Amino acid sequence: MSVALSNRFQGGKAFGLLKARQERRLAEINREFLCDQKYGDEESLPEKLAAFKEKYMEFDLNNEGEIDLMSLKRMMEKLGVPKTHLEMKKMISEVTGGVSDTISYRDFVNMMLGKRSAVLKLVMMFEGKANEGSPKPVGPPPERDIASLP
């Protein structure tokens, strides 16, 4: 009766378990940052790390703990700042120091907490500030007739 976890569950249940596992891994990394003396003087660090974890999980499409080129492309398009593949490769290289083709959660947090202003960091900060001022509408969109369309 030894069946692998992925074979026992399908669909939404398997996805939920995968997300929960990823959340535990990212929470463990957050604890490492909280214990790190280098970030001891950072104000409201737990809140920042929780926000970073939420954003990272939103854009980690394959749930493997890394943001690859396609995930970054989706992130930039969702934030309203589409970039070319070359620009995105440069952004990944800037965040990882040219070591990897994907952005790990540690690289992401180091970038967001670091003093260097990476392009990705500026876009993420701008996106957060842009959403603060305008609350998202709730419910179905208002009905429109053909004459009111542009």
Residue 66 β-bridge partners: 104
63 conformational bin, left if phi > 0, alpha if psi -120 to 50, beta if neither:
left
> Over 50: is that where the pLDDT of 4 sits?
no
Q: What is the mean pLDDT of residues 113-119?
A: 66
* Fold topology of 13-128: Recoverin; domain 1 (1.10.238)
pLDDT over 70, % of the chain: 78
* pLDDT category of residue 90 using cuts at 50, 70 and 90: confident
> Over 70: is that where the pLDDT of 81 sits?
yes
* pLDDT category of residue 128 using cuts at 50, 70 and 90: low
Task: Identify residue 15 by its one-letter amino acid code.
Answer: F
> By mean pLDDT, which of 9-18, 33-42, 122-131 is the weakest?
122-131
Domain boundaries, the chain: 13-128
